[in-house]
Structure formats: structure tokens, C-alpha cells
Structure 1
Amino acid sequence: MTASPVSPPVIDVHAHAITADAFRALARETPSIGLRLTDIDDRSLILAIGGVVQNPFPRSAMDLDLRFADLALAGIDLQVISPSPHFFLYDEPAAVTAATSAIVNDELVALARAHPDRFLVLGTVPLQDPAAAVAELERIMRQDCVRGVIVGTNIHGANLDSPGLEPFWEAAAALGAFILVHPHKIAGGDRMTSYYLKNVIGNPLETTIAAGCLLYSGVLDRYPALKVCLSHGGGFLPYQSGRFRHGWNVRPQDRGRATGGLDAGLGRLLYDTILHDEANLQFLVDQAGPARVMLGSDYPFDMGTLEGVRQVRRLPIGEEAKGALLRGTAERLLAKSPVAALA
């Protein structure tokens, strides 16, 4: 009897995880962050950390039985897991964040080693201290399962074009690290206290600000092999790229340090698929091409989705393009190669 062919794995590049051991170690080793967990029900907790309260915080962030059941329903085989933004802690003393980053990273590595066919890892680094961030990046990238890091859209209010971050971008490019840019501590939050606008509008706005700073500052020009993925479909950037281009043309005095032109930078940015709408996803794929778009779920949070695989498969694009979105592009860009990464 001929064996049935094995389908290539579906890869989710944007998913969050933590472990119970990490919570225990954080509470023990870094008490100043005020970590507390309060039970709600069999699916939810309340998380308090670093002055931030997440209610609810899903148990499936650390419960593997719940996670694997959900992934089976979603049709996802392998997740690139990263800490949720609650663990960035950029406003804590750098030494504290360096300690919390190491704890969280080591626990995610242990989880991936225990389930090598299910998980790869994006770690977190103390970006308020770029030298310490580079040291932690170099340390964790020695682990086979670690493919890069997740970073916030701002560093305690400083944008990603901060000159102090230059050593970090240089190191990330040299190491072939995949960088997932994720919103947190949003701009204009005082005007978005109602209707869940902090997430619905605030998160994509934050990502758009971060993208604009990376584009205009020339970071993407100086490090053309840098692999930067914008979460949640790129915020508002892909849908306002014409406005970005128009501003570039009419205000040359405001072009910043981007010497390669705006389109060169735009052509280097990467995106996940978390848009909750197939027409919007189709637009993103048309704009960026399947070589720069990858499946993401934002698991296990309520603004994520378990429908991403089915949405991709319903798109009116060829099977090769669908394969790129579901695995091929991720496989290529998660490789630890700094050379011609986006060629």
C-alpha cells in the first residue's frame, strides 16, 4: 500500500504563549513587577504585571491542552510563539527587564524543545537598554528554536527611529533575526477609552506610527536584510501607502534619513494576515505580494482569529500563492540568514 503524502505544515508566525513555570519564576525573581494572577473561570484569568491589568487573560496562553485543541480546529501545525506585550516591560529599570526577558525567553525555549514539531520562538529583549537588548538577542539566537524577537512599537514613549536603537537593528540584521513589531502603550489612548477603541483603532495606529518611523528614518535602507514584520496586517500602512507616497513627494524637507526612496523601504516590510476580512486580506496580498505576507492568528487573544487558514484558502489566488501565505514565506524568512533575506 502506498503511503499518503504528508501535507506541508501550516505555520502561524504571530502567536503568544507563556508557561506556568515562567509565572512562578517571575514572581520569585522579579517581585518588583507586581505580578498577580486571579482566577475567573476555566478559560480565563486576570493578569496584573508592571502596572498593567489584562482582563481577561486567556488560560490557553499557557494551557497546552486548550491550545492544541484550538490549533486542530484552526488547521495550524506549527506556531512561532512569542511573549504577549505585557512582558515587554520597557518602563521598568533595565536590569529588571533584562531579568524578566531572560526568564520568559528560557521558558519559551524549554517549551519549544519539548514540542519541536509544534513551536518555534520569538523572544523579547530589554530595548530601553540597547546594549543589553543586543546581548540578550545574541544569547537567545544561539538556540536552534529561536528565530528572532517580538518588539513593541515604542520604547517607553520613544519611537523606533530612536538613534540609540541603531546597534539593535544592526545586530538583528547580522543575525538574520525575524522581528515582529507589535503594538503596545498606544498613542492617544486618553481619547479611546470607550468602545474598545484602544484595541480596534489604537493598536493598528501604533503599528502605523512604528512603520512610518522605520521608513522615514532610513533604518530599512541601512539594513536591507532586516526582516521586519508588521502585526495585524500592517496597521493602516498598506491601505494608506498612497498617502505616504504623496507626503514623500510634496514635503521633501520631511523625508528624514531614508536615502533609498520610500518605495524601497515599503518593499522590505512584511505582514501577517490578521485582518478579519477576506477582501482586506486580498488587498494586502495584491499590494505586498505573497512573498511578504504570512499567516498569523494572534492566538490566544480575543482580537485574534482561528479562521486565518480558511480565509487564505478561500482567496481567489493560485495554490502556489496560498502555499506561500500558509508556510512558504514563513519558512524562507524564519531562516537565520541575513543575506538577501528579502530578495
Structure 2
Amino acid sequence: MSYKGWSVPPAAAMTSGSRRKQKMPTAKTIDTHAHILSDETMRMIAKEAPAVAPKITPIDDAFSVLEVAGVPYRPFPRGGWNLETRLKDMDAAEVDMQVLSNTPQTFLYTIDASLNATLAALQNDQIAATVKAHPDRFMGIATLPMQAPELAAAELTRAMRTLGLKGAQIGSNVNGRNLDDPALEPLWEAANALSAFIMIHPTQVAGSDRLKSYYLANLIGNPLDSTIAAASLVFGGVIARFPKIRFLFVHGGGFVPYQFGRWIHGWQVRSEPQVHLKESPEAALKTLWFDSILHAKEPLEYLVASAGVHRVVLGSDYPYDMGTLECVRQVRALSIPDADKDRILRGGPLALAGAAEQRSAA
């Protein structure tokens, strides 16, 4: 399949690791959106909480079924839990570094809050250990027990100040509660004080009863729930009140970059969007970050043009089949200046992660 000359490879290429290596550029490429659930992490979760223990059932050498809390996900590629496969895939994709985050399957927002606080800390310790073992290949962000905002704030603080993680990945809602819920204020206060990078990832998507066919829960549901999350943060005034938080919306930001004009117009002509937001949403919208996972050249070029190159960063959604190992090559194929490509591939991810000091390591 191709879009005006931009070849889109089959999903199986996500884990092939078999592409011929090309000469690597001197500047590091940094993938901001990559998930991990290592063997050791699964063993530790199983010991701590047998009822939600992740289980891997092989399909073949490359794929397995991942089951968490009795809920299966398939296919789960080997690179999700096997570091050797991950590093080979990164090399094949010309990705020098990944910002590691937990798998959305292990958000575990529906279980006991204190237990999830323990499991989140466990996962974060493991991500930090992987970063420490391979500092030239990985940075990391935390997962948080979002059903208990004060515990989430405490874990974010520990993860950043003690473990050296760069922020956190959180779900697009918390058991159906939008991200402007007043109960989440302790988390936003902590994240703002830390100038945290917060990656919003869809989960428990809205409208799922109408999205059961054709894999629509992912194709439409994921970008839809990201859009709801962004709107809640913008119109709920969270972004205006906590300007030091760097919010990243994955999968190209859902529908946000393509409907921002509608949001601004709606605020101008209707009273409802003004309840908590006393100025145009335009200012808040201009602070949002988006990753590059759009799977076609035209929408990615539009995203760069509309959001600005300084707010678009490389992402792969590794290791899932709805991601791509073509992410670096897709950015390099864009009809934009080379300096802008470098910003997406490297400069933007460093700025987003608050890791500008790593520029000299490239």
C-alpha cells in the first residue's frame, strides 16, 4: 500500500528485525512512544499480585498472546518482553534511543489502589533498571496508580527525583472519568512542580459498544479517546493552570490537530466551553505535543504544518502492530527542511523529555 509514493509496509514488519542496515546518521534518533513489559517485570507482578499476573502464551517465534488480569491481547510481539529482539528491531528501524513506557495493559486502574501503587512502583523500578543498564539506548517514563491521585503524585515524584525517569505515561481517562476531574488536582500540582513530561495514551475508549466490528475500537476509538482527553485538559483549564507540564498526545494527537479551529470557534460563540476556560483555547492548544504515528505522508506533513515542527516528535508505538518500524524513514521522507526533520527525530524528543543535556552525546 502506498500514499503518493510513500510505501507503507505490512504490519509484520514491526518485529521482523530483518531489514538491511543502512548507514546511521551522526545525530541520535529518539523514539518517544515505545512500550515494554519485560520477563522480569512479569515475574515480579505475578509474585506480588497473582490475580492480575501477566501471562505469555506463544503463538510462534515472533508473537504471543499477552494476558493481564484475565484479559487477552493478541498478537503481542516478542520485542515487547525480549530486550535482544527490541535492540535488533531498533537497529533495523534506525532508532538510536527509545523512551520506555509500560504497556497500556498494565495500567491496572480498576484494581485496588494500594496494590496498583505497589505494581506501578515495581514497573517503574524495572524501567529505571533497563535505562541504567543501557543509558545510550533508553530513557524512561513512569506508570502511575491513577485511581488514587495522591498516590499517583507521590509515585511521579519518586520516579522522577529518585529513579531519574522523565515523567509518566497515563491513560486518556481513569475508569471513565475525564482528565479534568477535580480529584486529579494533586497529580497535576506535582507534575507542574516537576515540569514533567506526561504522555497521554488511550485506554477504556469511549463508544466501545459501537466499535466492536472491524477493529474500530483501535482504528477510531483510540484517537477518539485521545481527543476527549485533550479537550478535557484544554476546556477544563488544566493546561492553563499548570503550564509547566509537557503533554504529549500519541497517534498524531487523535483528531485534535484537525479540529482545533472548531474548538476555538465554539469557545467564541458558545457559553459552555467558557465555564472553566476564560480565554480562547488557542493558547492551550499551542502547548500540546504530538507524536508522528499517522502512517501516511500527507497527514503527517499537515500535522507538522499546523502544530509546528517544534511540537511534533518521533514515535513508533513499539512493539504493537498498529505502530511501525518505518517511523524514522517516514520522517526523513517528508517534504520539509532537513533541520525540521532533525527537530522531529532528535531535538523535539530531547526537549520533551527535559533531557537537553544529552545533545552532546549524539
SS at match of 2:166: strand
Match of 2:251 among 223, 232, 252: 232
Measured after TM superposition, the shift of residue 252 of structure 1 is 2.1
Change (3 A) 1:62 1:289: same
8 Å Cα contact 1:50/1:92 also seen in 2: no
Match of 2:115 in 1: 96
Q: Measure, in 2, the Cα distance between the counterparts of 1:177 and 1:167.
A: 14
Is 1:181 the counterpart of 2:167? The answer is no
8 Å Cα contact 1:175/1:336 also seen in 2: no
Match of 1:147 in 2: 166
Is 1:83 the counterpart of 2:102? The answer is yes
Deviations 1:269-299 (A, max 9, x none): 1000000011000000001111111000000
Match of 2:218 among 186, 193, 199: 199
User: Which structure 2 residue ranges, 5 or more long, are not aligned?
Assistant: 1-22, 357-362
Match of 1:110 in 2: 129
Match of 1:23 in 2: 42
User: Which structure 1 residue ranges, 5 or more long, are not aligned?
Assistant: 338-343
Q: Measure, in 1, the Cα distance between the counterparts of 2:262 and 2:224.
A: 15
Q: Measure, in 2, the Cα distance between the counterparts of 1:65 and 1:336.
A: 25
Measured after TM superposition, the shift of residue 140 of structure 1 is 0.9
Measured after TM superposition, the shift of residue 170 of structure 1 is 1.3
Match of 2:230 in 1: 211
Q: Give the % identical residues.
A: 46
Match of 1:65 among 84, 97, 101: 84
SS at match of 2:73: strand
Runs of 4+ aligned structure 1 residues displaced above 3 Å come to: none
Measured after TM superposition, the shift of residue 246 of structure 1 is 2.2
Q: Which residue identity lines up with residue 56 of structure 1 in the other structure?
A: P
Match of 2:293 in 1: 274
Q: Measure, in 2, the Cα distance between the counterparts of 1:10 and 1:32.
A: 39
Q: Measure, in 2, the Cα distance between the counterparts of 1:5 and 1:21.
A: 31
Q: Measure, in 2, the Cα distance between the counterparts of 1:127 and 1:336.
A: 25
Measured after TM superposition, the shift of residue 316 of structure 1 is 1.4
Change (3 A) 1:184 1:117: same
Match of 1:286 among 302, 305, 311: 305
Match of 1:56 in 2: 75
8 Å Cα contact 2:200/2:249 also seen in 1: yes
Measured after TM superposition, the shift of residue 32 of structure 1 is 2.6
Q: Measure, in 2, the Cα distance between the counterparts of 1:42 and 1:143.
A: 37
8 Å Cα contact 2:42/2:53 also seen in 1: no
Measured after TM superposition, the shift of residue 255 of structure 1 is 2.3
Q: Measure, in 2, the Cα distance between the counterparts of 1:85 and 1:77.
A: 23
Q: Which residue identity lines up with residue 119 of structure 1 in the other structure?
A: F
Measured after TM superposition, the shift of residue 187 of structure 1 is 0.7
Match of 2:52 in 1: 33
Superposition TM-score, scaled by structure 2 size = 0.89
Match of 2:145 among 109, 117, 126: 126
Measured after TM superposition, the shift of residue 143 of structure 1 is 4.1
Q: Measure, in 2, the Cα distance between the counterparts of 1:120 and 1:172.
A: 18
For this pair of structures, how many residues does the alignment match?
A: 334
SS at match of 1:53: strand
Q: Measure, in 2, the Cα distance between the counterparts of 1:155 and 1:54.
A: 20
SS at match of 1:154: coil
SS at match of 1:127: coil
SS at match of 1:128: coil
Q: Measure, in 1, the Cα distance between the counterparts of 2:274 and 2:295.
A: 33
Q: Which residue identity lines up with residue 203 of structure 2 in the other structure?
A: H
SS at match of 2:128: helix
Deviations 1:190-240 (A, max 9, x none): 111111111000000000000010010000100111100001000011111
Change (3 A) 1:256 1:42: farther
Match of 2:16 in 1: none
Q: Which residue identity lines up with residue 97 of structure 2 in the other structure?
A: L
- RMSD of equivalent CA atoms: 1.6
**Quick check: 210-219 or 240-249, which moved more?**
240-249
Q: Which residue identity lines up with residue 223 of structure 2 in the other structure?
A: P
Change (3 A) 1:116 1:143: farther
Match of 2:4 in 1: none
Measured after TM superposition, the shift of residue 250 of structure 1 is 1.9
